[in-house]
Every structure is written in C-alpha cells, then in structure tokens.
Chains A and B, each alone.
Chain A
Amino acid sequence: RHRHATPSIPNRAQPARRPGNILEEARARLHVSAVPESLPCREQEFQDIYSFVESKVLDGTGGCMYVSGVPGTGKTATVQEVMRCLQHAAEQDEIPPFVFIQINGMKMTDPHQAYAQILQKLTGQKATADHAAALLEKRFSNPAPRKETTVLLVDELDLLWTRKQNVMYNLFDWPTRRHARLVVLAIANTMDLPERILINRVASRLGLTRMSFQPYSFKQLQQIVTSRLNKLKAFEDDALQLVSRKVAALSGDARRCLDICRRATEICERSAAGLVGMSHVMQALDEMFSSPYVAAIRSASTQEQLFLRAVIAEFRRLGLEEATFQQVLVQHQALCRVEGLQPVGVSEGLAVCRRLGACRLLLLEPSRLGVLQRLWLNVSQDDVLFALKAD
C-alpha cells in the first residue's frame, strides 16, 4: 500500500545528445560527476578502509573511523567505492550481508534531523527527531537475533555540531554498545576536528582510527586526467602537465583540475583547433585563478580610481589601515585639482565610495553615519597600485 507518491522529476522530451566529436567526448568524461569505476592513486586508502569495514562486518562488532582531508581529494568517492565493492562481496556470499546508509550534514536543516533521516533509511519509518532518537536508541542497545551489521557514512561531520554535541555523542556512542553492530565512517575536512571542537567524551568515543587523505601531487592529478580520458587524444601532454602542476601547487583539488580541463576544451572548441594546446590551457588557468579585483579596479571610472588613490594616500599619511570618509574626501579633492578635474562634492564622493563598497573593493560602515563613516581596503594596497599603474 503506497501512502506517498515516489518523488520523480519530469522526463526529457528528447533524449540527451550523444557527444559529437572528440572534444565533446572528452568534456563528458572529464565531468566531475562522471566518477570512474576505480579511483586511481587512492589504492592504499581504499585498501585500509576496505579491511577496516570488512573485519567489522565479519566479526559482527562495531566501530568508528574518522576520514579527513582537504576538499577534492576523493574522500567520499573512495568510501563509496569501498561500500560498492563490499556490497558486491556480500551478494557473492563472501561476507555476511549488511545495511549501508549515508547521511550528509550539509543536507540537513538542523543537526537533530540526522536521527529522523537515519531511522527513515533504516526502516522507512517517519518520525520526529526526538522520537527517532528514542527508537534508534532502543534499536542499538537491545539485543535482537539475526541483526545485520549497519554501516553508516556521515559526510560533513562538522555541521552536526551542536552546543551540547548530543548528536555526535550518540553517533559515536552507539557503535560501542554490545549489541549495536554499527560501523560509523565519519568524513570531514579538518584533520584535528576531534581535538578542536569535540568535547573529550565525544572525541574518545570517536577513537584513534583515523585516516587523512593527502592532496594530490601533480603526477597523481595527471594520472587522474589521463585515466579519465582513457586514451582519448584530446589534450597535448604538455598542456595536461601544466594544468596538473598549477593545480597541485595551489590546492591539489582534483575537481579544480577537471574543471580547468573542461574549460580548456571549450576554449579550444571556439578557436577551432583540433587539440587542446598550451595556449588554451593558459587562458583557462588565467580565467580560473586571476583575481577579479584587479580587473574591477582597471575598469572603474576615473573618479573611482582617484578615490582609491586618495584612500591609499590617506592611509600613508595616517600610518593606519583605516580612515574616515571626510579625511579621504580631502585627499580626493586635492587629487582632483592635481589632475585638473573639477573637485567632487560630498554627495558625489559618497556615491563613488558606496559604489566601491558595493563591489567589495572597500569595506564600509553603514551609510547613515554620513561623512564620519570609516572605510578599509578589502584588497592589498599593492594590488590597487598595480592595477592603477598598469595603464
């Protein structure tokens, strides 16, 4: 008996177009959502997580594991791949069957929603957060014959933080119960999260089974892209190496690397060249990494540029990184006279100042303070001078 309709999205009128040429094919393969079957360069981590979960499932015990690493290092993808392999193994009767559920802290409006979501994924039952917590408590603390092991993946763990940390406490306390048979895999970005924000009784329950994912080196990034392309000849080797080296030097984020490659194929397509070369990659890197502030200052109006000059002049005079609007206005009017322009009035000056504040080149106090509002630069002085000098 269906009480609720299954949610669905409307179907396309026409099927999605197949990739037409090599570049489109490459773009489809390089898409961040096209996760490959096996992740390159994460074999060691895969093995560690696999043996951890497998041993727990085989023994019929519970445990916790904390996985950390900067964004884009393949944490979630690796864990999900592990679970896929284990589920396959369970189907082959190599290991006992188990239940796998995952929740994501970012997808919840409130940390306590975690209880309701876990309960719904385990039993299909809908309940309020408090009721769900009570039901889960009962389920994990009472013995039941023929209970299967539950593997719970908690993504974005830091967002489940509450003042009393009761959600996190429960998540890590349940696996320690004798009859729970619960394995919790927690994922977050910072390595020292348990020491930093968790109180002692939560951190100790999380335990010392930790794993940190290092950022990809340039060789690994290059390998990831080549494995994605899978012998598709769309990129020059030098171009790929440049992308990987640049990204590895900055963050080691694989998603960033893939995005830049995709952008490079688009640029290449527009210039009607057959292969993605160095120039296309350079352009894509420029677009993705260059600061928009410098471009904004360069395209600002004359008075706005003069105002920025006046801000810097006033900062130098005061020896502080902060000035009031009326102090800057005096400098601005003096600069106008030097440049041979009509000196600005207070209203015009305020309009210029607010415009710079609206595009976040300046940080301003509320405008109702009038000429007494203080202002700060949101970019470094060197950036402003570089942008103003270049022409």
Chain B
Amino acid sequence: MEGLLEHPGYDGEKLRRVSEQLPCREVQAGMLLSLMGEPQQYCYPSLFIYGHRASGKSHVVNVLMKELELPHVTVSCVECVSSALLFEQVLLSFFGCDAASLLPRSPSLSDFVRIYKQRTSEFPSKQTRYIVMEQAELLRDASVNLLPALLRLQELDNVSVILLSEIVWDKFRPNTGCFEPLLLHFPDYSKAELLQILSAGRNPSYSAEFYSSYINILLGVFYTVCRDLRELQHLAALNFSKFCEPVAEGKETETHKLWKNIEPHLKKAMQTVYLREVSRSELSSGFALHVLPYYSKFLLIAAYLASYNPARTDKRFFVKHHGKIKKTNFLKKNEKTSNHLLGPKPFPLDRLLAIFYSVVDSRVAPTASIFSQISSLVTLQLLTLVSHDDQLDSPKYKCAVSLDFISAISRTVNFDIVKYLYDFL
C-alpha cells in the first residue's frame, strides 16, 4: 500500500507520510501531484475539484499542502462575506502583515492585483503558490469578475488556484466566458473502502477483528441510506458502547449474539440519521400546545381550515342555515388529489376572520388583541404572510403547521377538526 505516491522533487519520507494519511485516495492524490509537478515548476493555472460531501476533497488537498510544506493559503468562501476578506487572507499568508495592510479600505480586484504584482516582483517565489478555495460555489455570488480573475491569476506569477465544490463546473460558467479550469472528480467511497477507513479509527482496547466486525454490521444497516463518511463515523462512535455491553458483562462473544443485541439500537438510530441529539429533543415541540392563548388556537384552526379547504365549500361547512346545496355540486368527483398533498393555499384576512367567528362558539369582538394575535402567529412562523409586507388592506396568509399539530391543538379546545376538512369527508 505504501510507497504508491512517487514524484521527483519531493522527499520520499514526506510522500510516505502523505499516503499514510490518505487511505483510498492514492489515485486522486497521485493525479494531483503529477499536475502540480515539482515545486518550482508551473502547475495548471486552476484546478476544479468536485465530488460529494465527505469524499475527501479538502482533506487530500490540505494533507498534500501541509506535509509537502508548499506555500499555500486555504480560504473558506463561507467566511469571505466580502472579497476584501479574501484578498486580505491571500496577501497575509503569502507576504505577511505589511502587504495586507497596504490594501485600501474597500479594496477592488485591481487593488489586489496591483499589490500582489508589486510583492511578487520584490519577493519572487521559488515554489508554486497555491490558493485553495473551499465551498467555491459561493464565488458565483461574489462580484462577476472575481471568479474569471482567479481562474487566470497565473498570468501574474507562479500561482495556482484550486477550487473545491460539491457542484459541477457546468453550473459555474459565467455568461461572458472564462478560462476553463482542469476538472478533477473525487468519486464516492465504495463499501469496501468505507469499511477500511472506518476500521482504522478503532479503540485500541479492542482487537481489530472485533471492531471491523462491528463496522461491518453498522454498514450493513446504514449503507443503503447514508454513504457520508462523517455521518457514519459519528454513528459508529455513538453506538459502539452499546455493541460492547455484552462483552463487558462477560457474556459470550459470538457474532450473531452480538448482532441480536445491537440490532434494535441500530434500527432506532436509523430514525435519527443526520439529526444530532440537540435537534432531536427540539423536534417534538409541544410548547405551542400549552403556551398559545385560547383565541390564538382558534385563529390557527381557522387558518388551517382556510388553507386546506376550497373557498366554495365554506358555505356548506360554516353557515348554519345554508339552504339546500346539491351534493353532486358540492363533491366534485374529478378532484382526485387531496388538498393535503398539494400543500396550503393562501387565503385573505377576511376569510380567516369569517371562519374564526363561525368556529368560535362565543361572541368575540374584533378587538386589537385579535389582530395582534394574528401577527404574533406570523412571528412564531405558525402562519406565513404571502402578500407583500406593506399591504395593510388585504394581506394574504398561509397556514404553516401540520395536520398532527392542528389536531392536537383542536383536541385541547374540544373542536373536531376532521369533521370540517373537505379532504376527509
């Protein structure tokens, strides 16, 4: 396995350490190395590395840069809310603080290029410099000429830009065209590779065989839903203590017994893939059930009815003596999809209030407190305002709660909501 990475110009010992840290990425690392060439040679002007989440893009690049001690700067585009921060980071790590302090208050691209050029003529580099941009898809939202300029920064100096992204290059191209970078794809890890990488992170107090059998069981359960290395690592660490319990109690260590023991836990953990503990506790948020005032609950119920019932059925549901409405006219047989599949529909304020007065059994005066409760429901994100903010005369709302939630609410006020829903008639 080791000694796979070979390239003239780099120390063999360093390369060995690199390949140790990059299991299952030898091909990609070797490709990168051959593109980078020897330290003083010119690399390709810009490389675009793409692949799914946790396919080792940043890891491979960072390990190569760090272990081979190449002059580089790693910039996360999430952090660079303005291009000024990007310029500052690049100058700071290549030339030190005095270069970065030369930048004016709100530097433009030409300021950066001017200072960079001036500095490189003072301190010519013996090695290729690398600018690594993580989450490069955010560069598209920066000013239009930033990405094209970065792609051809090599015209200034022996510098190379490496862009890392989860999005394909086809969605990056600016409208006016640009220098095309070299595309490099990092494929997903296969099951065998995942097994190899995860087994490497074992607890030293257990044998390698024992741990890899655990990983094998884990992958058998989770591989169909999740191939994200980071998530699998988290799950492996989370459930390992449960897996070890029978061993600690001194019970037999046969594999199928262990499997019997761990299976229910893993099945339960399946429900919470990608959800960390913190969010899990918040998910079952019953707070609104108890906290909401009485009329707010009815307002919410009215909003739910307005969102999921067609307006033409209001007369049938909410008017006491509605006369004779033909059943054939009321139930349209050609409506196949239920309103609950299509999602909530917007409704005007008048309709909400009309339904509200109909479902509330007592007489309610339309006081300011009723209207302020509507707007506080919007602030709580139980309702959403769909019309524009400044429309005072006819605002439109949508109800943003689920059926389970609204039936729980209506149970607390003794209201049978299912009787009033068109879909369940």
* B50 CB, nearest partner CB in chain A, Å: 11
A351 interface residue (CB < 8 Å to B): yes
**In the docked arrangement, what's the CA distance between A27 and B168, Å?**
54
Q: Which residues of A contact B168 (CB under 8 A)?
A: 347
Taking a contact as CB atoms under 8 Å apart, the answer to whether B171 and A354 are in contact is no
Chain B residues in 8 Å Cβ range of A347: 168, 170
Q: How many angstroms from the CA of A364 to the CA of B171 in the assembled complex?
A: 13
Q: In the assembly, what is the distance between CA of A225 and CA of B173, in Å?
A: 48
Closest A residue by C-beta to B168: A347
In whole Å, how far is B114's beta carbon from the nearest beta carbon of chain A?
Answer: 22
B175 and A358 contact, CB distance less than 8 A? yes
Q: Let me know if A367 and B170 touch, CB within 8 A.
A: yes
Residue of B at shortest CB range from A348?
A: B170
B175 touches A357 (CB 8 A): yes
Given contacts A346-B170, A350-B170, contact A366 B175 (CB under 8 A): yes
Pairwise interchain contact A367-B177, C-beta atoms closer than 8 A:
no
B334 at interface by CB-CB < 8 Å: no
Choose among A350, A367, A370 the residue that contacts B174 (Cβ–Cβ < 8 A). Answer: A367
Q: Which of A324-368 contact B (CB under 8 A)?
A: 346-347, 350-351, 354-355, 357-359, 364, 366-368
Residues A367 and B176 in contact, CB atoms below 8 Å apart: no
Chain B residues closer than 8 Å to A355, beta-carbon distance: 177
Q: Is the CB of A351 within 8 A of B170?
A: yes
Q: Bound state CA distance, A178 and B170, in angstroms?
A: 68
0 or 1 for each of B151-186: is its CB under 8 Å from A? (1 = yes): 000000000000000001011111111000000000
| Chain A, Cβ-Cβ closest to B176 | A358
Quick one: closest A residue to B170, CB to CB?
Answer: A350
Per the bound structure, the CA–CA distance linking A368 and B167 in Å amounts to 10
> At the interface, yes or no: B315 with Cβ under 8 Å from chain A?
no
User: Chain B: which residue is nearest A359 at the CB level?
Assistant: B177
Chain B residues near A358: list those with CB within 8 A: 175-177
Could you tell me the distance between the alpha carbons of A357 and B177 in the complex, rounded to whole angstroms?
Answer: 8
Closest to A369 in B: B171
CB of A301, distance to nearest CB on chain B (Å): 14
> Which B residues are CB-close (under 8 A) to A351?
170, 173
Which residues of B, 119-149, contact A by the 8 Å Cβ criterion?
A: 140
- Give Cα distance in the complex from A350 to B175, angstroms: 12
User: Which residue of B is nearest A373, CB measured?
Assistant: B171
Number of A positions contacting B (CB below 8 A)? 14
A358 nearest in chain B by CB position: B177
Query: Considering the chains assembled together, what is the distance between the CA atoms of A368 and B173 in angstroms?
Result: 8
Looking at the assembled complex, report how far the CB atom of B174 sits from the nearest CB atom of chain A, in whole angstroms. 7
CA distance A355 to B174 in the complex (A): 10
CA distance A194 to B175 in the complex (A): 38
- With a 10 A CB-CB cut-off, give which of A350, A355, A368 has the most chain B CB atoms: A368
User: In the complex, how many angstroms separate the beta carbon of A310 from the nearest chain B beta carbon?
Assistant: 18
A359, B177: Cα distance in complex, Å = 8
CB contacts (< 8 Å) of B177 on chain A: these are 354-355, 357-359
In the bound complex, what is the Cα–Cα distance between A366 and B140 (angstroms)? 10
> What CA separation (Å) do A357 and B170 show in the bound complex?
13
- Bound state CA distance, A64 and B51, in angstroms? 69
Residue in B closest to A371 when the chains form the complex, CB atoms:
B170
Which chain A residue has the least Cβ–Cβ distance from B174? Answer: A367
Q: Which residues on the A side are within 8 Å of B172 (C-beta)?
A: 367-368
Complex Cα distance A172/B140, Å?
48
Who on chain B is nearest to A346 by CB? B170
Nearest residue (CB) in A for B141 is A368
Query: CB < 8 Å: which of A359, A364, A370 contacts B170?
Result: A370
A292 vs chain B, min Cβ distance (A): 16
Determine the residue in chain A with the shortest Cβ distance to B140.
A368
Contact indicator B175/A370 (Cβ below 8 Å): no
**How many angstroms between the C-alpha atoms of A350 and B177 in the bound complex?**
12
Given the complex of chains A and B, what is the CA–CA distance between A358 and B170 in angstroms?
14
A370 touches B173 (CB 8 A): no
Instruction: State A357–B178 Cα separation when bound (angstroms).
Output: 12
* Residues from chain A with Cβ under 8 Å of B173 in the complex: 350-351, 354, 367
Taking CB atoms, residues of chain A closer than 8 Å to B171 are: 367-368, 370
With a CB–CB cut-off of 8 A, which chain B residues contact A364?
175
- Closest approach, in angstroms, between the C-beta of A299 and any C-beta of chain B? 16
Q: Min CB distance, A224 to chain B, in Å?
A: 39
Cα A265 to Cα B173 in complex, Å, equals 43
Give the complex CA separation of A350 and B170 in angstroms.
7
**What are the residues of chain B within 8 A of A367 when measuring CB–CB?**
170-175
Cα-based distance from A368 to B144 in the complex (angstroms): 13
Chain B residues within an 8 Å CB radius of A359:
177
Contacts of B176 in A (CB 8 A): 358
Least CB separation from B177: chain A residue: A358
CA distance A367 to B139 in the complex (A): 13
Q: Most chain-A Cβ atoms within 10 A of its Cβ — which of B140, B172, B177?
A: B177
Chain A residues contacting B174 (CB-CB under 8 Å) are: 367
Distance A370 CA – B137 CA, assembled complex (angstroms): 14
Shortest Cβ gap from B139 to chain A (Å) = 12
Chain B residues numbered 165-215 whose CB sits less than 8 Å from any CB in chain A: 168, 170-177
* Bound CA span A351–B176, Å: 13
CB distance from B129 to the nearest CB of A (A): 29
- Taking CB as reference atom, which chain A residue is nearest B137? A368
Q: A residues within 8 A CB of B170?
A: 346-347, 350-351, 367, 370
> With the chains together, A346 CA to B177 CA distance in Å?
18
Bound together, the chains give a CA A346 to CA B168 distance in angstroms of 12
Nearest chain B CB to A365 CB, angstrom units: 9
Contact mask for chain B residues 299-326; partner A; CB cutoff 8 A; 1 contact, 0 none: 0000000000000000000000000000
Q: Which of A346, A358, A364 is most buried by chain B, counting CB atoms within 10 A of its CB? A: A358
Binding site for B on A (CB under 8 A): 346-347, 350-351, 354-355, 357-359, 364, 366-368, 370
23 examples of A-B residue contacts, CB within 8 angstroms: A346-B170, A347-B168, A350-B170, A350-B173, A351-B170, A351-B173, A354-B173, A354-B177, A355-B177, A357-B175, A357-B177, A358-B175, A358-B176, A358-B177, A359-B177, A364-B175, A366-B175, A367-B170, A367-B172, A367-B173, A367-B174, A367-B175, A368-B140
| 5 more CB-based (< 8 A) A-B contacts, given A347-B168, A368-B140 | A355-B177, A357-B177, A358-B176, A367-B174, A370-B170
3 closest A-B pairs by CB: A358-B177, A350-B170, A354-B173
